[in-house]
Structure 1
Amino acid sequence: MDRQQVVNFGAGPSALPTSVLEKAAKGLLNYNDNGIGLVELSHRSKDFAKLNDDLESIIRTQLDVPSTHHILFTQGGGSGQFSSVVMNLLARHTLLHPDLKPEERVMDYIVTGSWSKKAYEEANRLAGGKAVANLVVDARRTSKDGKSFDNVPQPSEWKLSPAANTAFIYYCENETVDGVQFSDSSFPHHLLENSFNPPLVADYSSSFMSRPIPRIADHALIFAGAQKNIGPSGLTILIVRNDVLVDVDAAYKLGANPVPLTMAYKTLADSKSLYNTPPMFAMYVSLLVLQDIQAKGGLGPLEEVNRQKQAILYDVLEGYEEKGILKLKVQKGSRSWMNVTFEFVDKQVEKTFLESAESKGLKQLKGHRSVGGIRVSLYNAITEEQVKSLISVLHASLGA
């Protein structure tokens, strides 16, 4: 089977455009006619400095990132940011409120799926007696079965902490494992519109650059691993507001936990993401992907393509759900555009579908090992025609 016969519906690392990968392969051998490949260049070279600047610029332009925010590149993925967020934002809050008691300093977590749950658990682990992780809401409590992540709870269910005591509020925009996503109306910003808004932190890893980010300026920090929509694994992109870039050593002197310099946002910003060698090849591929998106009209047209892909798939799945053949795992209004999750009522039908899909070159459709079922990831590189091919296999597997 060659590449043209295979469709990668995996949740990550994701499918990437073939034309981009072909160009990236050339850059591995001979970047910008230097005679050496990109991964052999110094990250201090003029060529890489330009790549770094170009990647920052294209993200700023396409997402309309305001001048109040830095765009930074680092490593460690979303999981690395579960730790970095806690350390940097607690340092910031300690500088602002040095006299607060540990039990009064709070980190608010909105838990809507497996990844925000992991972030909340890491916050509890790193609090170190210096702060408290508050569970604003646990979406399992408003689920149909009382134990699954199948919805984004209504704001009336949330229990936010007092604003002045809150170091930050954290949410995950799209839950890759569970297929839960905040709706088109996005985060309910009206809850925060008061005289003192705690910093809003968002994990956009599996939806980054799939459509515009609503009210991006109101976020103190947005982070995303690149390996879902725009590049290979290894690169983490940060959009960080100026006031989050704090002196972590000064905060340590006031009682905050120490922060490794390589994880301090101010260190990254002061060095233009070049404090140490960044994930150079992942940055290169990401730039090529974003240039490809830009050449096709930018995020506006891409959003419409992504809207159409998920709409035609959910329409078919809802039809089969009405017939009792399968069950969609997520409630309407909270269903992900990126990760469509469902399960067949008859496990033999599921087995037949997966075998048939694999024989047709439609790969990585099994759900995450923690939840099972089927997961269809519709990242940017997946085309509408490929979605229709999947639907055809689904029909055939069910004898329709």
Structure 2
Amino acid sequence: MTDSGSTGKSAGVSTAGMRRILPPDVVERGRDPFGPPPGLRGGGGPVRPLELLNGATAWLVTGFDEARTVLADARFSADKLRHHDATSLRPPQAQVAERTDGAFVFMDPPEHTRLRRALTGQFTVRRMRQLESRVREIAVEHVEAMRAAGTRADLVPAFALPLPSLVICELLGVDYADRAEFQERTAVGLSASSTPQEQLEARAGLHAFMRRLVSAKRANPADDLLSGLVHDADPPLTDTQLVDVALLLLTAGHETTANMLGLGTFALLEHPDQLAALRAEPGLMDGAVEELLRFLSIIQLGVSRVATEPVTLGGVDLPAGATVVIATPEANRDPRHWPGPGTLDLRRARTPHLAFGHGVHQCLGQQLARIELRIGLGELLSRLPGLRLAVPAEQVPVRDDMLVFGVRSLPVTWS
């Protein structure tokens, strides 16, 4: 779950359109499903030109310090309406005086600040503690359903997708009677195997679903996040803003966590020494989650900013209007910050990474994401002895045609 500019209205969107703009070697991971795409690796410095296939030039940021600067410096804008992003599929638009929607990941302060503050007030310690117990119940329920069905399953639809979907239901206060519809539309709308038309129809259905949910919370508030936003925000949020925020939470909180659960399990199974250490010492789990977030960095090239004035970054002079694209997978393997960054080491000393972004757009729900990953991976490993791949690793289909990297399916078996 993130507020890093890679989610919201763009989340779940296939990069089929982006492929008309981005060189393939910066989005396709090739033979190594856990490492950065080849085009992100190697020399050229922490800030270097990125020639786009539409003829424009952006600037690729691969250095950790330089990426943090971009994400924290107000001279780099996230506002895609006021400032044209060279990687955008939308044509340049005239400056707008006012925003009426709630897609705050594409806003700068003070518009961003007001909406984020309203949402921050709902991510209380009490609510996170309550959700933690439900996360465990949901995880256990789905693992036990896998066990009851035999000794083999596809982990993506059986576990990785439904767990965060149901957690979002809890967070937003979706009635139990409506959760099947919510899960079905979510699964189709965010699935890499759905056709573009199926995704479009599912997302339209989700938009209508959220409008009905907002209306229901206005009439009958409960102790959930959406009710809090409807009745406690000052000044009040419009229905359009509330729907946009709810959809942002869905896409940000579902797709990223689901892909981390699937890809994280795949990575552990392909690093048996690290898996054995984690099984032997469950206390390593918190550090393991952080290392997996750093090592895998599933947000590929979804985070971009536009310089609003001339800026010198990493020794490179950028003109006003320059688009910078943050290569999170490479920035999270900057050798200036991590020894042996290409090695998965669950005992690595915990240091800051960019999996949840940085600065004013840093992920609001990172605490909840960590809870889901810690509990989800823990229940899988403790309840499925001998968990292993059911197919050769090279047969596991990856989804590098999406802005959020992951696996399309993960066939596993256990003893």
TM bin (shorter chain) = under 0.3
The structure richer in strand per residue is 1
The structure richer in helix per residue is 2
TM-score by length of 2: 0.27
Structure having greater relative contact order (Cα 8 Å, sep ≥ 6): 2
Rg comparison, structure with higher value: 1
TM-score by length of 1: 0.28
